[in-house]
Structures are given as structure tokens and as C-alpha cells.
Structure 1
Amino acid sequence: MKIGIMTFHAAPNHGAALQAYALQTQLEKMGHEPFFINYLYGEQPRKGLLGWIGRSPANTFEKVDKQFRYRPFIPFQNKYLNVGDVRFLSYEQLYAVPPEADMYICGSDQVWNPNFFNKEKDERAFWLDFNNNGVRRVAYAPSFGVTHLGDDAVRRYTAYAKHFDAVSVREKNGLHLMEKLGRLNAVWVPDPTLLIEPKDFVKIEQKHQQSLKPYLFSYQLQTRRSLPSAATAINKTVCSWFGLELYDSYSVSVIYNIFRRKYLNPAQWLYKLHNSDFIVTNSFHGTVFALLYHRPFITILRKGLSSGMNNRIETLLEVVGLSNRSVTEFDQYRVEKLCQEKIDWSGVETNIKEFRETGIKYLEDALI
């Protein structure tokens, strides 16, 4: 079956790229022909001088940052992701001449986050609100990224949700949100990165600055200036406890990364994380790969406006029985206690396997 996937496959984010690779890999294992619908939304990096120079120093900084963030991901996308030949530059183009497929899948990632899209047309695209020619529509593990939907979002989303033949969500609280949209049959499934085996990721790893000393892998999804103070304190405590070097892998902060070559592509990012001795992160996918690669970790939950994103991490840690590995503030006693605790990786594997089977079973039923 030819399956068109709508997700953030081209985003300069390691988790976004790897969940896309994982869903594609699982669908191929099931005998299907998946491809990513090449829909461009939001502001993309421009080519030429205009791609580097902005209206002000601050805007120029943003443009340079965007160029350097996107560049490492392009070779990975070209090598590992089956992207459709047609580039859809607008919703109107997608609606008028949609890609040929036997089925459309949206997800995973936060493709249903109401705060992600400036244009309602982009929102409609990721809810597969195009092409009424009878092509089946399936949602695999999309995330809302919030715990509450406003009345206007409920109105729009209810209309979108009616067109799906099968619906699943990545977070447990997504089931409640789907009920508000009139879909009482939604299924809670794992992120695509948990559908496939660790060996499927190991085979695409790319060596990068191999370290001769044990190190802590720190991955925080903020700029260096806005890093939570908890991350800095936790990194310092863990490094001191185990005698580790610190390896910071920031997703942004261009000046810091340019001179330290820290803009890793997804394959390099996997390698550095896999070969670390401890992981400190506020990232959902950073936590996922700590689990898959059996690396001791501490996950920092977010505060403020982005706290709605914590449910995905809390849900995951609940599934594997490691809810105690998340923190919101720096507490030296608690951090040192987590350094001492041994993780029951066999129990983690058992729980992941059961959750994985739920996701595969959902796909098998939805793809009939």
C-alpha cells in the first residue's frame, strides 16, 4: 500500500527527524510503501544573501542560526527519508492536486498543537483536511502538546476529526481531548521511535568526535541564555559524582555551537547520546533514546507556558515505571540519590515491548 505521511519530517529537530524515520521503517517492515508529503509551512530558510542578512542585527542572528540549524538535517533527510517529489508550497496547491496514495497518515510529533501554526490552512493540512476522493485517513500518535483546548480550537478540530478512519494519540491525556472532539474510540499508542528496535537506530549512527573519556550528554531544547538553572546545576552534580566530562548538545544558540561544532545531524546525535555514560535532558526524544539505549538519565520537566508539553514525558515514564527520574527543580540530595539508583533495564524493556505491541496492533488494524 502506498502511504503518504504528513509530519514534521523536515524540521531541524533531532526527535522530529528520528520519529519520521522510525514510522517509515515500521511501515516498510509491514510491507508498505511510505513517503513523506513534502508540504512546506512556515518560514523556510532562503537561499542566497537574503538567507543570511536580516533587517536588524537581531534578525540577522536569527537567520544565521536558522541556516546552521537546517544544514545538518538535509543530508540525513536525503539519505534516510523517502520524501515525495512534489513540493507543496501552499495549502491551495495541496488541496487542488493532492499526492497520489492509497492512504494518508498524520503524525507523529506535535502536528495537532494549536500553538504551532500561524495560518489555519497549515493546521488543516496536518489534520489531513484535503482530498475528498475516498482515500483513507489514519492518525498515528499525533500530539496536541497542550492539556486544554480553547472553544475555537474544539470547534475546528471537531470538524477535522470526523474525517478519520482511525485515530490514535501519543499522550494519555490526548484520549480526553479526542473525546471532547467527539471521537470516543481513540487509541493511546507509543511514539514511532518506540515502534522499532534499538538496532534499527544503531545502524544509522554516525561517529562524531569520539571521546576517550566518559562523558555526560546534556541536551536541552532552549537557547543557551534561556537554559533552566536546574540543568546547569544537575550537570555539574552528576559530572562530579561520576567523574564525567560534560558534552553539551544544544539545538540552538548559534555562536556557542559554530565554534564548538555542536550542530549535530540526527545520526551524529544518536552516536553521541548512545556512547555517553549519563544523560540530562528536557527533551521527550532525549528521554526516549536514554531508555532505548539503556543510559541512566534525569529528565527536567518544563515550567511556565510550555509545561503542557510535560504530559508526553510523564506518560512515557509512567509506562516504563520510571516516573521518579523526572525533576522540576534542582535538589542536590535527590540528584545524588538518582545517581546511586540502579535502573531495572529488563523491566523497562518488558514495558516498552508491551507498549510497542499496542502501536503495531493499531497499525495492523488501521491499515487493512
Structure 2
Amino acid sequence: MNIGILTYAGGLNYGAQAQLYAMTNYLKEKGHNITVLMFKPKYYFVKNIKIALRVEPNWQRHPKHIMQSIKRMKAFNNWIKNIPNQIEVKDGKEVDGLDLDLVIAGSDEILNCKHPFYDDIYIGKDIDKTALIYYAPSTGALSVDYVLSDEQIMWFQKFKNYSARDVVTKKFIENNEHQEVTVVLDPTFLWEFNEITCKTKLGEKSIVLYSFDSIADYADEIIDYANKHEYEIVSLAREYRWANINLPAATEQEWITCFRNCEVVITDSYHGLVFALKNKKKVVLISREDKLNKNNGLLEFLGIQMSYYKKGSIDRYLHTETLDYSIINENIKKRKIESEKYLSEALENI
């Protein structure tokens, strides 16, 4: 089957690129021909730069940090440039002109109508001739009570199958479309990434820091924990003076490899949590408001009871929040079977 994937394919974000890579390779392994639909919304380039540079009102950043962000952008662009079978599309009509059998919309926050990259193409606008299904889209921090317009609902109804990455997104779709929605795993759980490896600076024992917000407020606790257990502190995508190793411009390959080789992950990120769980790591999970729907949804879906780290002893937190990977892996295996079944049946019905 000739399948197009419609997601935030050009996003300068480790998780966004990992889920696209996983979805593409999973479907290729099943024998499908894949085209990555490189849709770029209005002001895409400017928005991407603002996100990558973390530009905020009245922002002030050290020139060194700006250069690191630019270097990270270049690393992402090199990765994106090498995505096979990608084609740029300007709207849904151009998607229809590609003679695809199916477009899979997802994963990522493509249903977050307030996301900088959102466009109505992600709910089917102007895609009139090509079959559409959703796989693991997310609404991110969007309220479950957000109501689509009548015109948007008309486009939304074009989809033949609906799935969601979390319960909040499931409820959003059901509230707007009144269709049965299946909760499925993020595509990164469908692929093992064993073929991606590279040399890193990580020692035998290391803690990986990966967060959207600065975690400098926890520096004393992290340093105390690292010193006590003789860990190196490795920071991804940010630089901290107190980290032993800083990789502010890590490549996608380095990012994936660091999660595989470390022992402890400290994160506020959804895909930081995903890759920590995939690689059976100790996790210190920090709360971030716009990630709560996604992180809580993942924990609930996998049957994990876990609180967020606030302050205090990391040893005490990890003792309280011990993860039983024998149970977690069984739950992941079960959810993976369910997710693959949804996808397989959706493809068969096209």
C-alpha cells in the first residue's frame, strides 16, 4: 500500500523526529511504500527558529547559547534532510494529487489547535480523494472541552478510523466527532531503534538530564545524588555549568544512544519519559504544565503509578517511586499488541 504520513515532520524536536522515524520504519517493515508529507504551515520557518532558540518576549540570552541552538538546528536539519521519500505539500489538494492509497495523520500534537505548527490540514481540510486514518495523535495541553467549528467537524468526519495517544485526546475526539476512539501507543514503542547507535561521551555510570524547562532549581539535589553514587551528569539540549558533560547540540543519534546507555533519566518531557521506560531506566519525573496531559496519559495507559519529583532527596524519591519493569514490560507488550491490531485492521479496511 502507498501510505503518506502527515505529522510535524519538520519539527526541530527529538521526540517528533523519533516518532516519525519509528512510524516510517515500522510500516516499511510491513511491506508498505511510505511517503513523508512535509507540510509547512504559514510562517513555519520563523516559528521553528523561535522554538529552537526558545525566543520569548524581552528575551536575553548569552551569544554562546544562541550559537549552540543554531548548531542544534543544523543537526536537526541534517537529520530531516536525510528522511527518505519526503515530499513537500502546500495543502490538502496537493496531498490528493499524489495518488496515495492512504494518509496516516499522527503522531505528535497534531490535534492541538493552539500549537504553533497546527493547521486544519491535520483534521482533513482539502483532502477529499485520499483515505484518512489517525494513529496516536495528541491534543497536548489543549482543553478536552475545546470545541471545533462546524466546518472543522465536517473535515474531521472524513477520517475512517480514530485513535489517540492519551485519554484526554480520546475524549476530545469523542466530544467533537462522537466516534469510538482507540487509545494506542506512541509509534516509538513500535520500533526498537537498534540500528541507531553512535559514540558518546557517556561513562559507565551516568545520569541523563533532558527537559524543556530549566532544572537548575534542582542542581544541588542532582549533584548530591550524583556524587553519592559516582554518576556523571550528562545534559542533553541544554548546558549547565554543574553538569559533567553538556551536549546542547546533540544529534538525534546521540539523543537516542544516551537514553540507551545511561542509568538514570531526569526529565519533564513526554518522549524523555518514553525512552526512559523503553530502556528500563530509573526515572525522576518533573512536572511541567503543558506536558501533564501527555505524561499522565502515558503512565495511566501503562498502569504505572508514579508521582512527580518536587524537591528533596532523589534517593528517597526513587525508593518511593520504584519502577517494576517486569510488570511495565508486560503492560507495554500488551498495549503494543492492541496498537498493532488497531493499525492492522484500519489498513485492512481501506
TM-score normalized with structure 2 length: 0.84
Pick aligned residue for 2:279 from 293, 313, 317: 293
Please list, as runs of the form range in 1=range in 2, the aligned pairs for 1:157-236 lying within 5 A after superposition: 157-196=152-191, 198=192, 201-209=193-201, 211-222=202-213, 227-228=214-215, 231-236=218-223
Give the corresponding residue for 2:38: 38
- 1:270 aligns to what? 256
Q: State how many pairs are aligned.
A: 337
- 2:308 is matched with 327
1:238 aligns with 2:225: yes
The CA deviation at 1:335 is 4.8
SS of equivalent residue, structure 1 residue 272:
helix
Alpha-carbon contact 1:314-1:323 (below 8 Å) kept:
no
Superimposed CA distance per residue, residues 210-250 of structure 1 (whole angstroms, 9 cap, x where no aligned partner):
x335111000113xxxx145543552343144221211112
Runs (4+) off by over 4 Å: 56-66, 149-152, 154-157, 228-231, 252-257, 339-342
| Alpha-carbon distance between aligned partners in 2 of 1:215 and 1:144, rounded to the nearest angstrom | 33
Match of 1:124 in 2: 120
CA RMSD of superposed structures (Å):
3.3
* Residue 202 of structure 1: how far off its partner (Å): 2.3
Greater shift, 315-324 or 334-343, is seen at 334-343
Which ranges in structure 1 are unaligned for 5 or more consecutive residues? Answer: 47-51
Map Cα deviations across residues 233-291 of structure 1 (whole Å, 9 max, x no partner).
552343144221211112x579999x955311111111112111111001111111111
Give distance in 1, aligned partners of 2:280 and 2:181: 31
From 132, 136, 140, the equivalent of 2:131 is: 136
Whether the 8 Å CA contact 1:2–1:101 is kept in 2: the answer is: yes
Identity of aligned residues (%): 21
| Structure 1 length-normalised TM | 0.81
Give the match for residue 27 of structure 1.
Answer: 27
- CA contact under 8 A between 1:112 and 1:143: conserved in structure 2? yes
Maintained 8 Å contact 1:319/1:352: no
Q: Are the structure 2 counterparts of residues 2 and 65 from structure 1 closer, same or farther at C-alpha, using a change threshold of 3 Å?
A: same
Whole-Å separation in 1 of the counterparts to 2:107 and 2:116? 16
Amino acid at match of 2:208: F
1:82 is aligned, of 75, 81, 84, to 84
AA aligned to 2:225 is V
Given residue 272 of structure 1, which amino acid in structure 2 is its aligned partner?
A: C
Partner of 1:112: 111
Q: Aligned in 2, Cα 1:255/1:114: closer, same or farther, shift over 3 Å? A: farther
